[in-house]
């Protein structure tokens, strides 16, 4: 079996450190392992429009922003195909056929969709919930299956989407008695804290739509301000510190390495020592924020610098996107042909279109 990696992001804003630890770092690892036949990254503009229909400019403007983030973290256009979702005509057609395989109650049960409906206030608005939004797990199944992808590096919030995709694949292959579609599996980061990085406001998820992010493009000052604004439990310095639910510690857990202690916090050798000492009291929150700031600055500086360099090369980047999109159009069109053949709706591909009881 071929190894086909597919992943993507909605161009609703620049990418942030939640994306970085939840999915981008894993993509980089997979890219560098080189154990794949095809690696596709889809910029999911059509999906972004499902909750931004009134603001296509935002989606349009963020396509290159997201591309800059990809290139800045080290995704390599010689190894990865970058494509724009809405430019692939096979995807909405596949979506239409898959929609017949999924019941409405099944869609509405999707826990991620449920929480996103709530988060975006669709349940409260008079205009109500866009059909396209509830349907996006099906269109995501089209994205994945169009490339016969089996490896999907994503954050935890995407697991219900992949489950839905597998259900569609199984139904399709069973109903049409075929093995045309391929089941996929998620690749999650090894550190569970990275599954769903919280926002700097302590919200359960750092998310472009919630404005609680540290972006890969943020400058030194902005990062520092954001770290300082993180909410910790106010207390006297010698009172025991509480780690549970403390976002500064969550971010430390994700980014800290032993070598950071030597460099920035030589009183301790490792994270466990720091945590114990914090819980015993005597360490102020200003001190751990300063430590986190040092670590984030070190991690993000080279990314930001590369990003600024790539920002001077937009025509070349647009070219990369064009080439990738053309390649993706070909692959997805072939899958659409396979799907229609399996469904026997490829009417003119052979000469046996007839009436049953002739
Ligand atoms: P939006 O608010 O527009 O939905 P988002 O910040 O959720 O944006 P997406 O483009 O929906 O970002 O997600 C892209 C990928 O990044 C997905 O694989 C998702 O699981 C992952 N991801 C997003 N936010 C986080 C996070 N806070 N922690 C870990 N992974 C994340
Ligand atoms: Mg999202």
What's the pLDDT band for 352 if we cut at 50, 70, 90?
Answer: confident
Residue 327 confidence (pLDDT) above 80: yes
Percent of the chain's residues with pLDDT above 90: 85
The 10s digit of each residue's pLDDT in 3-31 is 999 999 999 999 999 999 999 999 999 99
The verdict on 290 and 337 lying in the same domain is: no
Q: What is the CATH number of the domain that holds 247?
A: 1.10.240.10
DSSP state of 152: E
The verdict on 126 and 237 lying in the same domain is: no
Q: How many beta carbons lie within 10 A of that of residue 142, not counting itself?
A: 27
Q: What is the CATH number of the domain that holds 20?
A: 3.40.50.620
Q: What is the pTM for the complete model shown? A: 0.94
Looking at beta carbons, which pairs linking 231-237 to residues 24 or more positions away fall under 8 Å? 231/201, 231/202, 232/285, 232/289, 237/281, 237/282, 237/283, 237/284
Q: How many beta carbons lie within 10 A of that of residue 237, not counting itself?
A: 12
CB burial of residue 130 (10 Å; 0-12, 13-18, 19+): middle
Which atom of ligand 1 has the smallest separation from the CA of 155? 20
For residue 51, being part of any structural domain is answered with: yes
For residue 352, being part of any structural domain is answered with: no
For residue 98, being part of any structural domain is answered with: yes
Distance CA 152, CA 187 (A): 6
Ligand 1 neighbourhood includes 154 CB (under 6 angstroms): yes
Ligand 1 neighbourhood includes 207 CB (under 6 angstroms): yes
Instruction: Give the residue whose CA is nearest to atom 16 of ligand 1.
Output: 19
The verdict on 238 and 283 lying in the same domain is: yes
For residue 201, being part of any structural domain is answered with: no
Mean pLDDT of the chain: 94
Q: Average pLDDT for residues 207-221, to the nearest whole number? A: 92
Note the pLDDT of residue 126.
66
In angstroms, what is the span from residue 10 Cα to ligand 1's centroid? 8
In angstroms, what is the span from residue 223 Cα to ligand 2's centroid? 22
Note the pLDDT of residue 289.
97
The verdict on 9 and 110 lying in the same domain is: yes
Where a domain ends, among 285, 309, 333?
A: 309
The verdict on 85 and 164 lying in the same domain is: yes
Residue 215 confidence (pLDDT) above 80: yes
Percent of the chain's residues with pLDDT above 70: 99
The verdict on 96 and 185 lying in the same domain is: yes
Ligand 1 neighbourhood includes 208 CB (under 6 angstroms): yes
Note the pLDDT of residue 125.
63
Instruction: Give the residue whose CA is nearest to atom 26 of ligand 1.
Output: 18
Note the pLDDT of residue 128.
85
Ligand 1 neighbourhood includes 209 CB (under 6 angstroms): yes
In angstroms, what is the span from residue 340 Cα to ligand 2's centroid? 31
The verdict on 106 and 174 lying in the same domain is: yes
**Which residue range forms the structural domain that includes residue 236?**
208-309
The verdict on 54 and 147 lying in the same domain is: yes
Instruction: Give the residue whose CA is nearest to atom 21 of ligand 1.
Output: 155
In angstroms, what is the span from residue 235 Cα to ligand 2's centroid? 35
For residue 356, being part of any structural domain is answered with: no
For residue 159, being part of any structural domain is answered with: yes
The verdict on 324 and 224 lying in the same domain is: no
For residue 138, being part of any structural domain is answered with: yes
Return the SS3 of 16.
strand
DSSP string computed for 81-121: EEEEGGG-THHHHHHHHHHTTS-HHHHHT-HHHHHHHHHTT
Distance CA 70, CA 27 (A): 10
Where a domain ends, among 309, 334, 351?
A: 309
The 10s digit of each residue's pLDDT in 274-321 is 999 999 998 999 999 999 999 999 999 999 999 999 999 999 999 999
For residue 357, being part of any structural domain is answered with: no
Per-residue b or e along 285-303, where b marks 16 or more CB atoms closer than 10 Å to that residue's CB: beebbbbbbbbbeebbeeb
Instruction: Give the residue whose CA is nearest to atom 5 of ligand 1.
Output: 207
In angstroms, what is the span from residue 155 Cα to ligand 1's centroid? 7
Note the pLDDT of residue 358.
57
The verdict on 119 and 9 lying in the same domain is: yes
What would the two tokens of residue 190 be?
């090894």
The verdict on 242 and 275 lying in the same domain is: yes
Identify the residue with better confidence: 231 or 260: 260
The verdict on 317 and 301 lying in the same domain is: no
Name the closest ligand to CA 15: 1
What's the pLDDT band for 233 if we cut at 50, 70, 90?
Answer: confident
**Who's near 226: CB < 8 A, 6+ residues apart?**
200, 214, 218
Ligand 1 neighbourhood includes 25 CB (under 6 angstroms): no
The 10s digit of each residue's pLDDT in 101-159 is 999 999 999 999 999 998 888 877 667 899 999 999 999 999 999 999 999 999 899 99
- Quote the number of domains for the chain: 2
Ligand 1 neighbourhood includes 12 CB (under 6 angstroms): yes
Note the pLDDT of residue 272.
96
The 10s digit of each residue's pLDDT in 58-78 is 999 999 999 999 999 999 999
């Amino acid at each position: 079996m071929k190894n086909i990696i597919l992943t993507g992001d909605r161009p609703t804003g620049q990418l942030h450190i939640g994306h970085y630890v939840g999915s981008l770092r894993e993509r980089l690892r997979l890219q560098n392992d080189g154990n794949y036949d095809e690696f596709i990254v889809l910029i999911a503009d059509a999906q972004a429009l499902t909750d931004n229909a009134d603001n296509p400019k935002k989606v349009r403007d963020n396509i290159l922003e997201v591309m800059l983030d990809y290139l800045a973290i080290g995704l390599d256009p010689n190894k990865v195909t970058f494509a724009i979702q809405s430019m692939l005509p096979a995807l909405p057609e596949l979506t239409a056929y898959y929609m017949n395989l999924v019941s409405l109650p099944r869609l509405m049960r999707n826990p991620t969709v449920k929480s996103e409906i709530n988060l975006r206030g669709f349940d409260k608005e008079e205009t109500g919930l866009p059909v396209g939004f509830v349907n996006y797990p099906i269109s995501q199944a089209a994205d994945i299956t169009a490339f016969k992808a089996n490896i999907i590096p994503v954050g935890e919030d995407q697991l219900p989407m992949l489950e839905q995709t597998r259900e569609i694949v199984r139904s399709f292959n069973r109903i049409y008695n075929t093995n045309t579609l391929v089941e996929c599996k998620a690749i999650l980061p090894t550190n569970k804290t990275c599954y769903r990085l919280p926002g700097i406001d302590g919200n359960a998820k750092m998310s472009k739509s919630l404005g609680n992010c540290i972006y890969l493009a943020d400058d030194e000052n902005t990062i520092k301000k954001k770290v300082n604004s993180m909410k910790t439990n106010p207390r006297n310095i010698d009172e025991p510190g509480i780690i549970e639910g403390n976002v500064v510690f969550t971010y430390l857990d994700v980014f800290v390495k032993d070598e950071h202690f030597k460099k920035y916090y030589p009183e301790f050798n490792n994270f466990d020592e720091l945590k114990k000492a914090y819980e015993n009291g005597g360490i102020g929150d200003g001190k751990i924020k300063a430590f986190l700031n040092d670590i984030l600055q070190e991690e993000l500086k080279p990314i930001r610098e590369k990003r600024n360099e790539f920002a001077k090369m937009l025509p070349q980047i647009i070219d990369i996107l064009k080439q990738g999109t053309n390649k993706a159009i070909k692959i997805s069109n072939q899958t659409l042909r396979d799907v229609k053949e399996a469904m026997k709706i490829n009417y003119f591909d052979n000469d046996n279109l007839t009436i049953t009881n002739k």
